[in-house]
A and B are shown apart, each in its own frame.
Chain A
Amino acid sequence: MEMKKMAEFRVGRGHDGPARVGEYIMNDVAFETPILISPEISRANPLHYMTLGRDPTRQRPMISTIPFTMKLDELVKAEPNDSDSILLPSMISFSSLSADAGTLLLRHQIEFINSVKDTIDPSRLIIRVPENIDFEVFESYLHDFHSMGIRAAAFTFDGLLGSVDTESIHLRSALPASWLSTALGKITPSMVPFLFYTGFDIIDCGYSIEAAVTGTRLWRNDSERIEQGAFHRFCSCIHCVSFSDDSNSKLIETLQNHNLDVYNEILSESIHAMKNGRLRWLVESMTHVSPNHASLLRQVDKQSYSFLEEFTPTTGTDVVPLIGPESYNSPVVRRYREYLEARYTPPSGKRIVLLLPCSAKKPYSDSKSHRRFLETIESALGRTVGSVAQVILTSPLGVVPRELERIFPAANYDIPVTGDWDAEETELGAEALIHYLDKIDSESTVVAHVSGGYLGIVKSAESKVSQSIIYTTPETSATSWESRQALHETLVDLKNVLQLKDTPPRQLEEIVRATADFQFGSGAGDMLVPENAKLGGKPYRQIVCRIEKEQVCSFIASSGSISLTLNGAKLLAPLNRYWVRLDAPQVKGGSIFAVGIKKADSEIRPGDEVIILNNEEQVIAVGKSEMSGREMCELPRGRAVSIRHKMEG
């Protein structure tokens, strides 16, 4: 019996939000994803689509469409290429009729699959996702499709960046991680980074032709009507070298080639940005193309936050630019605020909470202003300095406790600093401060050494906190000599009034505990750093934690995160978090692949420190995750964990 031809999508390594690189293998030809698809085949665009029985077929694999009205015998007659992938039939506009209409279209596709599955392998079929379908209903249908062997879906975009497009992205977030996802419709170049970011692997650039035949030259952010004798922009591309606006047939060809190149440029820029962890920045930067671009991102951030966050790495050594309001709820930022609220416990024994402004240089304590603050604090409090908790106010992260200042993204973010904060930033900051002070003894005293926008945060939080707040010099900049003098005096007064006792700094312990809680969840700090733990090293380099001379973990300043040893992993295992269960007794080699994973904690994000358990629930290794926990469960292949330490068998 002849082997049926298959299609396969392989997700490659690397993450920046739901964006991924991969390979779509159609029979024996592999296409690297993300990839553009168009009606025309060319060197720049190797993948194309056509409609069965209506367009000429070619030898190369392509994506072919079955018209809704095509009967099965006509399909057989149309002889789809046996390496093609096939878009299932659906009816244009039908799903707008009612909430049930989309469901009927999906049921029709299921019946269609059943009628062709003996001749066409389901891996080659692509479902068409109708608009106007309920998210949960869609999820349940996906389950059916998945069990039938379907591994790809196509969504339609109308290019208006309104409800249809938002809905398509939301529905896309329901796909299993292993599925190929295709965006069809009117997609302008400025949409490409966004669609790639939201996890689309094949992107339709058919609009390049529509634009060309209507005399429109596309650019990255906008477009230009070509009219004879009018002003034309300079273009350095090879097609436009011979550009002239008077010969119509030549002009369309020139525009078509130019437009396709614009799509290719922006796609390759997006891939590059993803590999550097700057895709989110690229997407945010393009929100200024039009108000609709901005509202689309805000809608998707709100509606599909958990989807975006799930695939966003928790580590990164690069600078994270947070430039406009689109950054306030970007996954790394919102996740930081949520982790801080849910996981962080302030160190014990603090009687004063000192609020400080942030600095442009990160980590803060490396900045000139913070070095001076630290000098002032030490000279005022001397041996009682351990009774002060330092908290940095900043936007859009909210608050950063001193002991977490090296964590991602607190050590990496870069914002335009003007001192003016908008209402949303102030609210986010105030909320974070309220949550923080909720965890602090209400008898403690809060010293607010801030002015300007920072002062606004404290003022708007004040009525909702139980501690009393002392303002040092709210009228002048916190870094000025006078202000620091005032801070000095305030702290000296408090030292006397509160009769502070000698409290040696426990900086190393505080950093490791706070980082552990933040990274692994509440309670992790106490498990890794019990009373008998011995800590050594420098906060700006590395802190090693030992229990009875056995190293359990170390804090790496450059990444702001904790690496576990096997002993540390064993200590943390009862917390029942960040675990990866294997089907095997032990780990072989330096990596764990998704295929060998039985189950993984759904909290795992790319870049997390994870604990590997064997089939007998024993800790057998620790490593760094390369993908999210859901992907470890859903992907049939790919590197899931890079091993750091393992049991030697």
Chain B
Amino acid sequence: MNDVLDEMQNLVKQASSTARGVSIIKRRAKNPNKPAAAWTTQARIGTETGTALSIVLSTEGCAHARSSDGGCTMCSYLLDGTSMNPTSDEFLNQFQEAMKKLENATSPLSVKIYTSGSFLDTDEIPIEARNLILTEIANDERIKEVVLESRPEYVQDSNLEEVRSRLGDRAIELAMGLESSSDQIRSLCINKNFDFATFKGAVEIGKKYGIGTRAYILLKPPFLTERDALLDAQKTISDAIDAGATTVSLNPVNVQSNTLVESLWKTQRYRPPWLWTVVEVLQYAHDAAKGSVKVVCDPAAAGKTRGTHNCGKCDQSIISAVRQFSLTQNIHAFDGLKCECRDLWNHCLTHEDVSLLVHR
């Protein structure tokens, strides 16, 4: 049976590459001294509320997405990057540019560094650049929490030891896109190109240095029914918590340009997850977390046709409940949510499984 599944996976790889198309080549060279994006939000940092800065460094992009493997079926963050890889000094400039947003902020601060790839991949971020940035953070006493994004295969004793020694006793989390704990779904539906064992290995390395794991969990990759997706996200959350994740972040798929998901979506063969599904999964996650693991969700394009959405009438109230819950971890944020579209969602859960027709 594995032969067939392998062939199916190859088809997905090809289709991912095809969907990516010439979009990588067409990427423009961007100002190497400016980050791709930077924004601040209110966030829970330790037991206090503070300000979190999210930085997306402008890099050459994720090695997996650039490779002949085609990248992940739902992701085009690669396109946020630049076609020319910046120098270490330019990376530092990007970081400092972003930090300006925290000029007047007071402690505690949280800094999250995303690259649309892997912060620990030295082909993407040279060691020199990484160390310059980590030193900058180390010199800022207000920063109490640091989140670094990476694929698990770049997580090693050597680089985590370095990270820990530079950042002192700050809370550190590795942000890794586990997406699904099912190897079949992660390879066949997402084309993620690593297995659960690799993820667990990376979590274990992190534990050695007191570095926690923020596990990104993908809600509704392509080729799953709504209920497949719901159940897989729930199972993945339990598995991630068992593996030692310190935060689970639920990411409902949003339809990004030049992805396999987008090509399916355009021909009515994909629908982003219902907000009801998001709520259902978060409620489950809250139970599974038993108060010791943080559960967050900041859905992209929520309420829009390309993002997680319901009927349109109830979307805003549910989105704000999701945000409220992420900030407070209070499950009562979901109390009283109600809409007539919930029956339709219920019907979709059963009928899509049987008919294998995408319910829009």
B239 at the interface (CB under 8 A from A): no
Contact present for B222 and A93 (CB under 8 Å): yes
Q: Which one of B11, B222, B354 has the highest number of Cβ atoms from chain A below 10 Å of its Cβ?
A: B354
In the complex, which residues of chain A have a beta carbon less than 8 angstroms from the beta carbon of B231?
Answer: 54
Query: How far apart are the CA atoms of A206 and B346 in the complex, in Å?
Result: 12
Contact present for A69 and B184 (CB under 8 Å): yes
B105 at the interface (CB under 8 A from A): no
Contact with A along B337-348 (1 / 0, CB 8 A): 000100110111
Give the Cβ gap from A50 to chain B, nearest Cβ, in Å.
Answer: 8
In the complex, which residues of chain A have a beta carbon less than 8 angstroms from the beta carbon of B227?
Answer: 51, 54
Query: How far apart are the CA atoms of A357 and B269 in the complex, in Å?
Result: 54
Give the Cβ gap from B116 to chain A, nearest Cβ, in Å.
Answer: 25
Known A92-B223, A108-B4, A248-B340; contact A206-B264, beta-carbon cutoff 8 A? no
Contact present for B354 and A184 (CB under 8 Å): yes
Known A104-B7, A111-B4; contact A93-B223, beta-carbon cutoff 8 A? yes
In the complex, which residues of chain A have a beta carbon less than 8 angstroms from the beta carbon of B4?
Answer: 104, 107-108, 111
Give the Cβ gap from B352 to chain A, nearest Cβ, in Å.
Answer: 7
Query: How far apart are the CA atoms of A184 and B352 in the complex, in Å?
Result: 10
List the B residue with the shortest CB-CB distance to A111. Answer: B1
User: Residue A184 contacts which of B188, B267, B356, B359 (CB distance < 8 angstroms)?
Assistant: B356
8 A Cβ contacts from A93-143 to B: 93-94, 96-98, 100-101, 104, 107-108, 111-112, 115, 128
Known A158-B268, A213-B340; contact A94-B8, beta-carbon cutoff 8 A? yes
The number of chain B residues with a CB under 8 A from chain A is 42
Query: How far apart are the CA atoms of A98 and B16 in the complex, in Å?
Result: 12
A252 at the interface (CB under 8 A from B): yes
B15 at the interface (CB under 8 A from A): yes
User: Residue B344 contacts which of A108, A206, A214 (CB distance < 8 angstroms)?
Assistant: A214
Query: How far apart are the CA atoms of A255 and B231 in the complex, in Å?
Result: 30
B12 at the interface (CB under 8 A from A): yes
8 A Cβ contacts from B230-274 to A: 231-232, 264, 267-270
Query: How far apart are the CA atoms of A92 and B270 in the complex, in Å?
Result: 9
User: Residue A92 contacts which of B1, B11, B225, B267 (CB distance < 8 angstroms)?
Assistant: B225
B128 at the interface (CB under 8 A from A): no
Contact present for A97 and B357 (CB under 8 Å): no
8 A Cβ contacts from A248-289 to B: 248, 252
A-B pairs with CB below 8 Å: how many?
115
8 A Cβ contacts from A66-97 to B: 67-69, 87, 90-94, 96-97
Known A39-B350, A94-B223; contact A69-B182, beta-carbon cutoff 8 A? yes
In the complex, which residues of chain A have a beta carbon less than 8 angstroms from the beta carbon of B12?
Answer: 97
In the complex, which residues of chain B have a beta carbon less than 8 angstroms from the beta carbon of A63?
Answer: 354
Contact present for B350 and A51 (CB under 8 Å): yes
Contact present for B355 and A185 (CB under 8 Å): yes
8 A Cβ contacts from B1-49 to A: 1, 4-5, 7-8, 11-12, 14-15
Query: How far apart are the CA atoms of A213 and B350 in the complex, in Å?
Result: 14
8 A Cβ contacts from A144-187 to B: 156-158, 184-186
List the A residue with the shortest CB-CB distance to B343. Answer: A213
B358 at the interface (CB under 8 A from A): yes
Query: How far apart are the CA atoms of A472 and B125 in the complex, in Å?
Result: 95
Query: How far apart are the CA atoms of A68 and B353 in the complex, in Å?
Result: 9
B351 at the interface (CB under 8 A from A): yes
In the complex, which residues of chain A have a beta carbon less than 8 angstroms from the beta carbon of B288?
Answer: none
In the complex, which residues of chain A have a beta carbon less than 8 angstroms from the beta carbon of B222?
Answer: 93
Query: How far apart are the CA atoms of A63 and B184 in the complex, in Å?
Result: 26
In the complex, which residues of chain B have a beta carbon less than 8 angstroms from the beta carbon of A104?
Answer: 4, 7-8, 11
In the complex, which residues of chain B have a beta carbon less than 8 angstroms from the beta carbon of A128?
Answer: 356
B132 at the interface (CB under 8 A from A): no
Contact present for A210 and B356 (CB under 8 Å): no
List the B residue with the shortest CB-CB distance to A207. Answer: B351
A55 at the interface (CB under 8 A from B): yes
Q: Which one of B12, B182, B353, B356 has the highest number of Cβ atoms from chain A below 10 Å of its Cβ?
A: B356
Say whether chain A's binding surface is mostly helix, strand, loop, or mixed. mixed
Query: How far apart are the CA atoms of A104 and B12 in the complex, in Å?
Result: 12
B228 at the interface (CB under 8 A from A): yes
Contact present for B356 and A156 (CB under 8 Å): yes
Query: How far apart are the CA atoms of A286 and B173 in the complex, in Å?
Result: 63
Contact present for B223 and A206 (CB under 8 Å): no
Query: How far apart are the CA atoms of A39 and B267 in the complex, in Å?
Result: 27
List the A residue with the shortest CB-CB distance to B353. Answer: A51
Contact present for A65 and B347 (CB under 8 Å): no
Known A69-B232, A213-B344; contact A90-B11, beta-carbon cutoff 8 A? no
Give the Cβ gap from A98 to chain B, nearest Cβ, in Å.
Answer: 6
Known A51-B227, A68-B228, A92-B352; contact A210-B270, beta-carbon cutoff 8 A? no
Contact present for B340 and A96 (CB under 8 Å): no
List the B residue with the shortest CB-CB distance to A128. Answer: B356
In the complex, which residues of chain B have a beta carbon less than 8 angstroms from the beta carbon of A91?
Answer: 8, 188, 223, 356
User: Residue B356 contacts which of A90, A98, A115, A252 (CB distance < 8 angstroms)?
Assistant: A90
B185 at the interface (CB under 8 A from A): yes
Contact present for B11 and A100 (CB under 8 Å): yes
List the B residue with the shortest CB-CB distance to A130. Answer: B356
Contact present for B354 and A210 (CB under 8 Å): no
8 A Cβ contacts from B265-292 to A: 267-270
List the A residue with the shortest CB-CB distance to B265. Answer: A93
Q: Which one of B270, B346, B351 has the highest number of Cβ atoms from chain A below 10 Å of its Cβ?
A: B351
Give the Cβ gap from A104 to chain B, nearest Cβ, in Å.
Answer: 5
In the complex, which residues of chain B have a beta carbon less than 8 angstroms from the beta carbon of A184?
Answer: 354-357
Contact with B along A29-71 (1 / 0, CB 8 A): 0000000000100000000011100110000000101011100
Give the Cβ gap from B344 to chain A, nearest Cβ, in Å.
Answer: 5
Known A97-B15, A108-B5, A252-B343; contact A158-B357, beta-carbon cutoff 8 A? yes
Q: Which 10 A-B pairs have the closest CB atoms?
A: A213-B343, A93-B269, A185-B357, A184-B355, A51-B353, A111-B1, A185-B355, A92-B356, A206-B351, A108-B4
Given contacts A184-B355, A206-B351, could you give 5 more A-B pairs where the C-beta distance is less than 8 Å?
Answer: A69-B185, A92-B358, A94-B8, A206-B347, A213-B346
Cross-chain pairs A/B with CB under 8 angstroms, 21 sampled: A50-B354, A54-B231, A55-B350, A65-B354, A69-B224, A69-B228, A91-B188, A91-B356, A92-B225, A93-B269, A93-B270, A98-B14, A111-B1, A128-B356, A184-B355, A186-B357, A204-B354, A204-B355, A209-B351, A210-B348, A213-B340
